[in-house]
Structure 1
Amino acid sequence: MPSVSNMMPMKRIVALSIYWLINVIFIIKYLPRAGVPAVVGIVVYSVLLALVYVACKKYVHILSERTCNVLSLTAVAIVSAAAVFLLWYIEPLSINVDRWSALAYFDDALLNGIYPYGVHTHVSDVNYPSPFPFWQYVYLPFYLLGDVGLGQILFLWLTVYCVYGLCRSWRITLIFIVLLFFAPAYWWELAVRSDGLSNTLLVLCVILSMKRYGITLKEHFWLVALLCGLIASTRMSAVVPMAIYLFNEYVRLPWRRMILFPIVIALIFIGFLLPYIFWDTESWLFFNRNPLMSQTGESSVLMLLVLVLVGIYVSLRKTDFDYLLFVCG
């Protein structure tokens, strides 16, 4: 995991600019709904971000590892407590975002023997669960605990563990935590019980762990194929960073393994879908309503393809992990 102070100045500027732009887009989209002009939010956020950047650059490097450790864990604990409060305080049915009900209603239907991809969410009777089965199973324990929003807390701690596990520096981990917590989108995800960021953090954890333990496509073919198959069985968008990260290794495989690799991923993906394909062999419900229909309706397949192609191009030109992680987002 690259240190902010060790990144090339231009790369640092580009990374922070992208970070700022993503959050500004979020502010423009959602802040007016609260009755606050977007321009006010942008100005306030930009000033605060500049202050945070200056503070990190000036003070973080002089803090001891122990101090950074305490600050990091304290911050994560406070945010975890805040997340629990938000889950208690905000009534799920009052939220006009159906990420949580796409998970909870799926699990409820599944446990009651009802075709789960045929139940609509609480927002609209034309909105249906879109995550692929593996991701639904990942969130099943949190449904059984009473609130799928609890999953966000687990993935927060897991990500902090993986970031520190790779870089072995609480300073870098603290900077990561500050940037994560300073993103308005993160707090929105907590408030609406969205699982989108958790899905992204899972992919990040997989990439960081592969780097930490030296897991490569060449030396650990079957393990990487299994991991990619599981990632592909969460959401289509989750495939993008994995494709960028692994493509440079993939094109250097023997041709037989180049063919075998996507086949294994496809078999794992299809394996998770099989119970739903054959759920009803009379009316074949799966072909009338399935997660592929929902995901292609929600996101632009063309945009995903463009992102993959751009990422693959960059991954072929740059092989160092820091740069690939930067490109993966």
Structure 2
Amino acid sequence: MGNTKLLSNTGLHHIKNYIILFIYLIVNSLFVMKYGEDYKIQFLIGYLIVILGLSISYIKINLKDLFYKSLFWIGVILFFFFSIYLNDKVDGNSLNVDRWSAMEIGIKAIFNGQYPYNIPDHMGQESSNLPMLIVLGMPFYLLFGSVGYLQCFSFLLFSYLIFKIFDDYKQRLAVLILLFLSPSYLWEVYVKSDLFSNFVVIAGFTYLIWNKFLKEKAIKPEAISFLTALILLTRLSSVIPLTILLFKRFYDFSIKEKLRFAIVFVLTISAVVYIFFHNAPNFEVFIKHNPFIIQGAKQPLILSLSYVVLALIVSFKVKSFYEIIFWAGALLFVCVFVPFLMFFAEYGYTDMITNSFFDLSFFNMCMPFVMITLVWGGFKNNIKEIK
């Protein structure tokens, strides 16, 4: 019976590995196809060969730890300064992507006492950034004059996160290599986008809560409620990893703990929403121009609710940090891939990919979780569960 269970768990583990590898390859292949210009097929074939060949070789070949350690820190330092250089050299106004300017107009509006959601950015679009995402960009705008530097420092946060999660430098370097070989991520750095950075913060929050709250119980539930409300107000889709991470624990709370958690959560949400929305000229402007409507209109409501229901169910099943990040990455991918397929069936390849009817950058929400899970699965036998 024990051997049967072991074989069953091993088979399930392999299935999860294939799912995560599929997600990583699909997301990055879409970016190769979109930006490969006249050599899309050649670039795609070459990219897949490099990724699969390098992955197999990397797992099988073992070198001294000093080699991996040296490459890891060299990679972190060089890429950090490269990202700063790139952010400085690329003129945001020349880009056909407005995530950076949508964040900047929101920051300027708040400091000027204006309503931030009916002001056009450099492409004439209104901001769909939730309040705390705008707050996330404030330090970089105030200190360096550009929210693009958020990407530079979120890279450092991601590097620190993989340093803490993994035990040795071969695994840490593997995540870094996946990051550097990801066209979806490199595109984000180039265009000063914020999706990957946003979910690096959420992945870091997941690690913190798993370690300090779910395992050690070193943080009070009220503090968790406060932080959860802030994280939720960065992007609506953050509800998926937050639900997987915390709903089962909330379910186990006593009635008093549930009430305290809920009160802190509602008060935090209310305070932040008031700060960002009280300058709306009138209720009609608020209804027509607010980020909740814009973010919620990406797909039918029934689909959005179904992902949350799945997250609720999964929260009762997960028993390890690995399972949490696997399901967070998988469900975040699904919630973008399903509408992508729906749009693709309606509009076809040319409009969807070439003419940008669908924003591929939304796939980057899942990528921090996917990269961590991919390495975790590949080196499972050498990794201890986070205590």
Aligned-partner Cα distance in 1 for 2:97–2:293: 19
State how far apart, in whole Å, the 2-side matches of 1:157 and 1:285 are: 39
2:236/2:295 contact within 8 Å kept: yes
Cα pair distance change 1:62/1:300, threshold 3 Å: farther
Describe how 1:123-162 pairs up with structure 2 within 5 A.
123-124=123-124, 127-144=125-142, 145-162=144-161
Task: Render the CA deviation track for 1:252-303: whole Å, top value 9, x for unaligned.
Answer: 2224434553453233122111023322566674334222122223465444
Q: 2:223 is matched with which residue?
A: 223
User: Is this contact kept in 2: 1:240–1:304, CA < 8 A?
Assistant: no
- CA RMSD, 1 decimal: 2.5
What's the secondary structure of 1:194's corresponding residue? coil
Moved over 6 A (4+): none
CA distance in 2, matches of 1:19, 1:238: 19
In the other structure, the counterpart of 1:25 is 30
TM normalised by structure 2 equals: 0.74
Q: Which amino acid aligns with 1:57?
A: I
1:38-57 equivalence runs, <5 A: 38-57=40-59
**CA separation in 1, counterparts of 2:117 and 2:216?**
34
User: 1: distance between equivalents of 2:224 and 2:283?
Assistant: 37
CA–CA separation in structure 1 for the residues paired with 2:54 and 2:300: 34
Question: Alignment partner of 2:252: what SS?
Answer: coil
Any conservation in 2 of the 1:244–1:308 contact (CA below 8 Å)?
no
Q: What amino acid does structure 2 have at the position aligned with 1:58?
A: K
Offset, 1:193: 0.4
Shift of 1:210: 2.2
Seen in structure 2, the aligned counterparts of structure 1 residues 112 and 314 have a Cα distance that, compared at 3 Å, is closer
Q: Quickly say closer, same or farther: Cα 1:151–1:244, change in 2 above 3 A.
A: same
Distance 1:276 1:286 in 2: 11
**Unaligned 5+ runs, structure 1:** none
- Which residue of structure 2 lines up, in the alignment, with residue 90 of structure 1? 90
Aligned to 2:277: 277
Q: Percent identity?
A: 25
Which deviates the most, 165-174 or 85-94?
A: 165-174
- 1:205-232 Cα offsets, whole Å, 9 max, x none, are 1111223335569773112111211101
Q: Secondary structure at the match of 1:130?
A: coil
Q: Which structure is higher in RCO with an 8 Å CA cutoff and minimum separation 6?
A: 2
Aligned position for 2:187:
188
Is it true that 1:11 corresponds to 2:10 in the alignment? no
Matching residue of 2:267: 267
CA contact (8 A) 1:166 1:212 kept: no
Residue 315 of structure 2: aligned partner: 315
**Which segments of 5 or more consecutive residues in structure 2 lack a partner in the other structure?**
1-9, 330-387
**Structure 1 length-normalised TM:** 0.87
